Amino acid sequence: MTSPASTSTSRTVDLPGGLSLTINEFGTNSEGSAVLYLHGGAGPRTMVGLATALSEHVYGIVPTHPGFDATLRPDGFDTVADLAVAYLDLLDALDLTGVMVIGNSVGGWIAAEMALRDTRGRIGALVLLNAVGIHAHMKDNEVRDTRVMAPAEMTQLAFHNPAFRPDFSSFSDEQRAAAAANQRTLATYAGEAFTHDPKLRGRLHRVTVPVLVAWGEQDGIALPLYGRGYAKSFPNGHFTSIADAGHFPHIEQLGATLGAIGDFVDTVVKPDQAA
């Protein structure tokens, strides 16, 4: 897979309550809309390829969740709900509307929580890529608890193609420490239940924007059946599977993921504007 060259710029945005967010911006904000890309436990770098590929068409923002990649996480800022409110504050600060929020793994959970709290109509659509956040209700269909896994085991389940799996034996001590710190931050936000809020599924009927749930078929962290259940939880939910991909379909199968998003926009989000 060859990704387009990244042309992002980085800056810090100050939000209400004293929170400072580090964001990377892709493309130009010329129409007052954007795509907001929310990363999972592997950090913001996992969203760069997708944001770069779409930057020719739409302004994109990749924030770093506070506490990831050595950024500051304020005391008391420790839940997925905190992140959801912060990113809605970010959309307010940038005065963006009609925003498509694309979230992978825990980033999808944040996106769903944002849609539940969007009282100002900032969000136009959601795309959840192998998202977590809801209770599966089935013992054999729960999301795997990566907290108890060695890094090599976790990546074996997360990536279908071995070529995409990080070689942890080549990591420096600094890189290992940074990865471990990110996982600790993820565990803080995810809480005791870790992969879900037991009550979230029952609230998703209130999300009125269109939602695409796209799933890597070979995900060993969260099975496609879990993803189908996620899509059915939304009134306007749509499911599609991505072949030959695991927990990060936008990395292993960027072209297929872009195609799925494009079809969703053309047939569901903006059918009247499709060519």
Task: Go through the domains of the chain in sequence order and give each one's CATH number.
Answer: 9-273 (3.40.50.1820)
pLDDT digits (tens, 9 = 90+) for 167-189: 988 999 999 999 999 999 999 99
The predicted pLDDT at position 139 comes to 57
The predicted pLDDT at position 137 comes to 64
Of 54, 118, 133, 103, the residue nearest 211 (C-alpha): 103
Mean pLDDT of 111-121: 98
Q: Are 127 and 47 in contact (CB under 8 A)?
A: no
Percentage of residues in the chain with pLDDT exceeding 90? 85
pLDDT class for 1, splitting at 50, 70, 90? very low
pLDDT digits (tens, 9 = 90+) for 11-45: 999 999 899 999 999 999 988 999 999 999 999 99
Own/partner contacts of 75-83, CB < 8 Å, gap of 24 or more, are 77/19, 78/188, 78/189, 79/189, 79/191, 80/106, 80/109, 80/110, 80/113, 80/133, 80/189, 80/190, 80/191, 80/197, 81/113, 81/117, 82/189, 83/110, 83/113, 83/189
pLDDT digits (tens, 9 = 90+) for 250-264: 999 999 999 999 999
Whether residue 2 is predicted with pLDDT greater than 50 in this model: the reply is no
Mean pLDDT of 213-225: 95
pLDDT digits (tens, 9 = 90+) for 126-163: 999 999 999 876 555 568 888 888 888 999 999 999 99
Of 116, 123, 105, the residue nearest 227 (C-alpha): 105
pLDDT digits (tens, 9 = 90+) for 42-65: 999 999 999 999 999 999 999 999
Give the residue with greater pLDDT, 70 vs 146.
70
Report the distance separating Cα 236 and Cα 274, nearest Å. Answer: 19
The predicted pLDDT at position 212 comes to 98
Average pLDDT for the chain: 93
| Structural tokens at position 197 | 């809020």
Percentage of residues in the chain with pLDDT exceeding 70? 95
